[in-house]
Amino acid sequence: PTIGIVIPAAGRGTRAGQGCQKAFRRIGGDTVLNRVLKLFRSWNTNCPIVIVHHADDISLLEASIDRDSNIHTTTGGVERQASVLQGLRFLSSLPKSPSHVFIHDAARPFASHSVIPAIAVSDTLKKTDSNGLIQATVPRDGLFRAQTPQAFKLQTILRLHEIAATSTSSYTDDASLLEEAGLPVRIIQGESRNIKLTYSSDFEEGERLLRANSP
């Protein structure tokens, strides 16, 4: 197989706050997005990488990454789902379009070279009603938290995203499109350090992770 990477980075980072979109914020001296690029480049030096960004972020983006000739950029959409679709279309339109794709959120700079990682749920899970009152404790056997990267056959996930774009359902997780289509998806062991930078406090946690790992 040949592999390409799609990195959705077009969100607004509303929950993290701090004024600057989180992919372009620095953590341990490098931008979040550049860490993600280095991760994939340490694994493969020249596979095509498509960064999906917001139209307002072009100059921030250029200032935030070390470019090479196989790093491409394209603009995203209002929801992550739309951004992923734009990235997949771009990858598929390249002259040497790959057979497979990794989709990986810019907001997860601490991943290592794993595919479709997921972490067994260890917290006690509660189901609530719309007022926030607990209705039940949910058994956690067989429950996993999905992470990225997630790996797919490029044409399969592109086709499913094209179909999803015409429906009213919304998806925050790409693997769920295959699940709904009845296609098998395998989970592999994830990594607890592969946190998603969602809130400002996650950046502090990320800084701690980096300090704990530096010699």
Q: 126 touches which of ligand CTP, Mg ion, none (CB within 5 to 8 A by kind)?
A: none
Q: 86 touches which of Mg ion, ligand CTP, none (CB within 5 to 8 A by kind)?
A: none
Q: 31 touches which of Mg ion, ligand CTP, none (CB within 5 to 8 A by kind)?
A: none
Min. distance of Cβ 171 from ligand CTP in angstroms? 12
Q: Cβ-closest residue to ligand CTP? A: 11
Q: 174 touches which of Mg ion, ligand CTP, none (CB within 5 to 8 A by kind)?
A: none
Number of residues that bind Mg ion (CB under 5 A): 1
> Closest by alpha carbon to 67, among 31, 17, 105?
31
Min. distance of Cβ 11 from Mg ion in angstroms? 5
Structure tokens at 130: 């719309």
Residues that bind ligand CTP (CB under 6 A): 8-16, 23, 52, 76-80, 83, 105-107, 196, 198
